[in-house]
Chain A
Amino acid sequence: MTSRPNADNAEGSPLVLLVVLLGGLVFGVGLAVSEMAKPEVVLDFLQFDDFGLLFVMGGAAVVSGLAFLVGTRLLDRAPLTGRAYGRRLKDLDQNVVVGGVVFGVGWGISGICPGAAYASLGIGNVPILWGVAGMFLGAYGQGYWRSRD
Chain B
Amino acid sequence: MVGAELLAPEPAAVLAVSGDLFPRGVSQYLVGGVLIGLGTAVIYFGTGITAGASTFLESTLSYVSSVERFNQGTYVRSRDWRVVFTLGIVAGAAAYTLAVGNTAWTTDVQWWRLFGGGVLVGVGTRVGKGCTSGHGVCGVGSLSDASLVNVATFLALAVGTAQLVQALGVSP
Chain A interface residues (CB < 8 Å from chain B): 8, 11-12, 15-17, 19-41, 43, 46-68, 71, 75, 77-81, 83-93, 95-128, 130-144, 146-147
Contact of B127 with A by CB under 8 A: yes
Query: Interface on B for A, CB 8 Å cutoff?
Result: 21-26, 28-54, 56-58, 60-61, 65, 67-70, 77-78, 80-81, 84-97, 102-109, 111-147, 149-166, 172
Interface pair A141/B122, CB less than 8 Å apart: yes
- What is the count of residue pairs linking A and B with beta-carbon distances less than 8 angstroms? 556
Nearest Cβ on chain A to B146's Cβ, whole angstroms = 4
Choose from B40, B106, B128 the contact partner of A103 (Cβ within 8 Å): B128
**Besides A62-B37, A100-B150, A109-B161, 18 new A-B residue pairs in contact (Cβ under 8 A), listed by A number:** A11-B47, A21-B88, A25-B39, A25-B91, A52-B24, A59-B33, A71-B45, A90-B129, A90-B130, A101-B154, A103-B157, A108-B160, A113-B54, A121-B90, A131-B118, A136-B61, A139-B54, A144-B67
Given known A-B contacts A27-B39, A119-B92, A123-B104, A68 and B117 have beta carbons under 8 A apart = no
B124 contacts A102, C-beta separation under 8 Å? yes
**Chain B interface main SS type:** helix
Chain A: which residue is nearest B40 at the CB level? Answer: A64
Residues A112 and B41 in contact in the complex (CB < 8 Å), given A120-B93, A120-B107: no
Determine which residue in A51, A64, A91, A146 has the highest number of CB atoms from chain B within 10 A of its CB, and name it. A64
Contact of A125 among B26, B48, B107, B158 (CB under 8 A): B107
Are B115 and A90 touching (Cβ within 8 A)?
no
CB distance from B109 to the nearest CB of A (A): 5
